[in-house]
A and B are shown apart, each in its own frame.
Chain A
Amino acid sequence: MNAARCAQAAWRSCLAVAFLSVQLGACAPLRFAPYEAKAAGAYPNHVVKGDLQVAAQPLVDEQEQRKYFGVVLTDVGVLPVFIVAENRSTTRRFLLRDDSITLQSIGSARAFPKAVQDTIASDPGGKAKHDAALATTGAAVVAGPIFLALPAVLMAVGFAKNSEGAALIQDNLFDKTLFTRTVLPGRTVSGFAYFMVSDTKLVQGRDMPGSLGDLLLRAQVADQETAAIHDFEFRM
């Protein structure tokens, strides 16, 4: 009798644990490690101009990409570059515009597009699509009207275009993006820019056209008082 009761209690406990596990598993969102910025001077690829110090660091390590993005972006030709801008002035403010951060091939001078787009702005019928998409409670959109133009990339690494996992990855990439920011006195801003460099896996050699060493990143930072533009260049 006691053995039967024990077995019943054990079974109930198992059921409870299984139920809780399923609930917690369903509730716990997929999490990605935050990418902690170091001081700009700590990156090998940094440039100082007056009160400004800017660094650019491509993230090509596969394990690190899985840790921070959940996917290996370079496998499908997307290069994530981490950018840090540090304002050492006590009074001056600088504007770092995301559209002034560009990547181009040194050999061919070809400029590579960013992997960010707005479905509303980029689609002539975007407004209707926006409303219609939103009305379907998310089933027809990946992660809202603004998203990183990476559905094909995510599909290539095994995520269905409209899957929950793809949407979480898109959200995380969006949250880690460096958008236009004012660099206030004594402050630092940082984040990733994602460039669509190739249709295939990124080559990490130094001298071949289309390889990492052939890429040049440019960033323009504007002094908000004088409107003077400071150019920064980084060989990847």
Chain B
Amino acid sequence: MNQDSKTHRRPVTPALAFLAMLGLLGGCASPTTVADLMPEASTSRVAAPKMPGSIAVRTSVPTGTTSPTYKTMEVSEWIDSQKLKQAIEQSIARDSMFSEVRQGNADYLLEVWIDKIQNVLDIAGEGFVFNFTSVWRLTRLQDGNVVVCEFVKGHGAARAMAARAYPPGISAATRTMIEKGLVAISDQSQSYLSAQSTAGTRPTIAAAQ
């Protein structure tokens, strides 16, 4: 009986080991932290003249990838509206871009919609790639004037097995997007209104409860 069990168990063992290995490789994607999503501190932004007044931030992030994409997947473990909001708020505060970051009434309202989260598997190149397309709209609330309304893209890639590529790829895409978005709202040398004619009149994002 024991002998029989052993003979039956033997061929199953490698398969189980293989499945366990796949599970380890594919299912161990760790969640991201807000710090993972923040770009490096920028000396040029810190040195630039501070925007007069306070700012409030609202964000809208899809729960999964958008078409066209290589893999349809949920992304909320790595990026969601709350994490993005905090990453932007903390970056603005760290780089002293506005006099204050507020949760309620403020002089400026920054709204960020991530419209697209797409991934591509580039075997011969960067690996597992994430591309974000977002709209950043900065409104001066005193007169309702849209100061910035810009399409901002993010790009991140990671070379790792299966789901292990998701956190670093999504984090990198978020960091590059926030970096470019912060340039758009702080750079006074030119206008950032690429999305104005198409997204300038979007309904305001509701404040988080």
Contact of A143 among B68, B73, B151, B195 (CB under 8 A): B68
| B32 touches A (CB below 8 Å) | no
The answer on a CB contact under 8 Å between A29 and B120 is yes
On whether the beta carbons of B201 and A121 are closer than 8 Å, the reply is yes
Contact of A180 among B62, B115, B122, B194 (CB under 8 A): B194
Contact B190 A184, beta carbon cutoff 8 Å: yes
Asked if A164 is at the interface (CB within 8 A of a chain B CB), the reply is yes
- Does A95 belong to the interface (CB within 8 Å)? yes
CB 8 Å contact bits of B121-164 with A (1 = contact, 0 = none): 11100000000010100000000000000010000000000000
B191 located at the interface, meaning its Cβ lies under 8 Å from any Cβ of chain A in the complex: yes
Confirm or deny: A111 has a beta carbon within 8 angstroms of a beta carbon on chain B.
Answer: no
Interface size counted on chain A using CB atoms at 8 A: 41
Complex: how many Å from CA A171 to CA B115?
12
- Residues 55-66 of B, flagged 1 when their CB comes within 8 A of A and 0 if not, give 000001011111
Question: What are the interface flags for B188-203 relative to A under an 8 Å C-beta threshold, 1 for contact and 0 otherwise?
Answer: 0111011111111111
Residue picked from B69, B151, B191, B201, most chain A C-beta under 10 Å: B191
Q: Are B195 and A138 in contact (CB under 8 A)?
A: no
A97 at the binding interface (Cβ < 8 Å): yes
Contacts of B70 in A (CB 8 A): 26-27, 29
- What residue in chain B is nearest A187 (Cβ atoms)? B190
A27 contacts B122, C-beta separation under 8 Å: yes
Residues of A within 8 A of B116 (CB): 143-144
A27-B121, A27-B123, A118-B202 given; A180·B197 CB < 8 A: yes
**Complex interface: stretch among A4-12, A127-135, A150-158:** A127-135
Query: CB distance B199 to A118 under 8 Å?
Result: yes
B75 to chain A, nearest CB (A): 9
Question: Please, which residues of chain B bring their CB within 8 A of the CB of A97?
Answer: 193, 196-197
Q: How far is the CA of A150 from the CA of B192 in the complex (A)?
A: 26
Assess whether B191 is in contact with A224, with CB atoms less than 8 Å apart: yes
- Chain B residues 61 to 100 lying within 8 A of chain A, measured CB to CB, are 62-70, 72-74
Assess the B123–A121 pair: CB atoms within 8 A.
Answer: no
Q: Contact at B123–A141, with CB atoms within 8 Å?
A: no
CA distance A179 to B69 in the complex (A): 24
By beta carbon, the residue of chain A nearest B74 is A137
Chain A's closest residue to B73 (CB) is A137
Tell me the bound Cα distance from A138 to B203 in angstroms.
Answer: 21
Q: For residue B90, give the distance in angstroms from its CB to the closest CB of chain A.
A: 24
Report A-chain residues with C-beta under 8 Å of the C-beta of B202.
118, 120-121, 126
A204 and B116 alpha carbons, distance in the complex (Å): 37
B160 to chain A, nearest CB (A): 16
A24 CB–B CB distance under 8 Å: yes
CA distance A141 to B191 in the complex (A): 30
> Are A138 and B69 in contact, CB atoms less than 8 angstroms apart?
yes
The CA-CA distance from A167 to B69 in the complex, in Å, is 9
Shortest distance between the CB of A66 and any CB in chain B (Å): 19
Give bound CA distance, A143 to B65, whole Å. Answer: 11
A-side contacts of B72, CB under 8 Å: 137-138
Please name all residues of chain B whose beta carbon is closer than 8 Å to the beta carbon of A224 when the two chains form the complex: 191
Partner of B64, one of A99, A137, A142, A182: A137
Q: Tell me the A99-135 residues at the B interface (CB within 8 Å).
A: 99, 116-118, 120-121, 126-127, 130-131, 134-135
Q: Which of A26, A27, A144, A179 contacts B194 (CB 8 A)?
A: A179
Complex Cα gap A139–B192 (Å): 31
Q: Give 19 A-B contacts (CB < 8 Å), ordered by A residue.
A: A23-B123, A27-B70, A27-B120, A121-B198, A121-B201, A121-B203, A127-B206, A131-B60, A134-B64, A137-B66, A139-B67, A141-B66, A141-B67, A146-B115, A146-B199, A168-B68, A180-B191, A182-B190, A184-B190
8 nearest interchain CB pairs?
A137-B64, A134-B62, A138-B67, A182-B190, A179-B194, A144-B115, A138-B66, A167-B68
* Beyond A27-B70, A120-B202, 12 additional pairs, beta carbon < 8 A: A23-B123, A26-B70, A118-B202, A121-B198, A127-B206, A134-B63, A137-B62, A146-B199, A167-B68, A168-B68, A179-B194, A179-B197
